[in-house]
Amino acid sequence: MELKGKTILITGGASGIGLEAAKQFLEIGAKVIITGRNQERLDAAKSMHPNLTTIKSDVSKEEDVKLLFNIVSQLGGIDILYNNAAVLTSPFNLGVVNDKHIVNAAYEMEVNYFGVIRINNIFMDMLKSKKEAAIINTTSILSMVPSLIEATYSSSKVALAFYTISLREHLKIVGSTLKIFELIPPLVATEMTAERNDKKISTEQMVKGLIKGLQKNQDTIRVGDAKLVDIIRRFFPKTAFGLVNPKKANQILK
């Protein structure tokens, strides 16, 4: 897929992987729009990369997504929608009754799963009208092997992975050329994973892997250890589970 000259909308683009993606897409020659819930972070991103267009928006709120669509339409539309926004609540033990379980689970599903469907639906016709366009849905290594301490996050990414496959096939059936990519990152060094001491890759490495996959038109883009875990879990599922859930995970839940 050609990225130069494309207009790319990145949700959750004010920090972490999203901000690094914005930087690298700009370097390629793409036009980039980022969204986020924090205006200060958006302003900081704009200061670092003046060519960015920033729009405050929350994918969990329907009114925000509608307003975002109207603004983007006035700007001339987009060619690529990169669903990067996601949330992860604090680790908790499902085996111990806690009122926060359902609240946290609902929040994670609202952003990580329903938020993607919400924004995809409203931008779908715009993207289908383009000669070459794409949607990138970000799942996770945890969509292949669940995390004991991030159960609902893992579940939200499994749901998104299945939705992505279904969406891709539905579009083929109706004869659409809109490309649907699934990005499967490993553990990446961001604020979300700051408290974890496991092996991580940099956001720069992560985005380089994404861009390489897009340019090769790989439907499923596995980066770093996501490739290895995918192979191991097929033949040695218990080993893969142990890699994702080291013994210290059991200690956190006690």
Dihedral (C-alpha) 163, 107, 184, 166: value to the nearest 10 degrees?
Answer: 0
pLDDT band at 250 (very low <50, low <70, confident <90, very high): low
> Does pLDDT of 238 surpass 90?
yes
Residue 226 has a pLDDT of 94
Residue 145 has a pLDDT of 95
Lowest mean pLDDT among 58-62, 157-161, 197-201: 197-201
Q: Is 153 a catalytic residue?
A: yes
> Does pLDDT of 80 surpass 90?
yes
Residue 131 has a pLDDT of 94
Integer Cα distance of 186 and 140 in angstroms: 7
Residue 96 has a pLDDT of 74
Which residue in 149, 148, 144, 177 sits closest to 161, CA to CA?
A: 144
Helices (H), the chain: 16-28, 39-48, 62-74, 100-109, 115-128, 151-173, 203-215, 225-235, 237-244, 247-253
Integer Cα distance of 128 and 177 in angstroms: 7
DSSP one-letter code for 188: B
| Contact assessment for residue 154 and residue 147, using Cβ atoms and an 8 Å cutoff | yes
Q: Domain ranges for the chain, please list them.
A: 7-253
Integer Cα distance of 227 and 184 in angstroms: 9
Asked if CATH classification 3.30.2090.10 holds for the domain at 7-253, the reply, yes or no, is no
Tens digit of each residue's pLDDT (9 = 90 or more) over 19-68: 999 999 999 999 999 999 999 999 999 999 999 999 999 999 999 999 99
| Contact assessment for residue 108 and residue 87, using Cβ atoms and an 8 Å cutoff | yes
> Does pLDDT of 206 surpass 80?
yes
pLDDT band at 248 (very low <50, low <70, confident <90, very high): low
- Look up the pTM and report it: 0.93
Q: For the residues 161-172, what does the mean pLDDT come to?
A: 98
User: Which of 82, 107, 113, 153 is the catalytic position?
Assistant: 153
Integer Cα distance of 92 and 105 in angstroms: 11
Residue 54 has a pLDDT of 98
Q: For the residues 85-111, what does the mean pLDDT come to?
A: 85
Average pLDDT, the chain: 93
DSSP one-letter code for 111: I
Residue 106 has a pLDDT of 94
Residue 139 has a pLDDT of 97
> Does pLDDT of 95 surpass 80?
no
Integer Cα distance of 26 and 32 in angstroms: 7
Residue 130 has a pLDDT of 96
What are the residues whose beta carbons fall under 8 Å from the beta carbon of 102, sequence distance 6 or more? Answer: none
Integer Cα distance of 167 and 184 in angstroms: 17
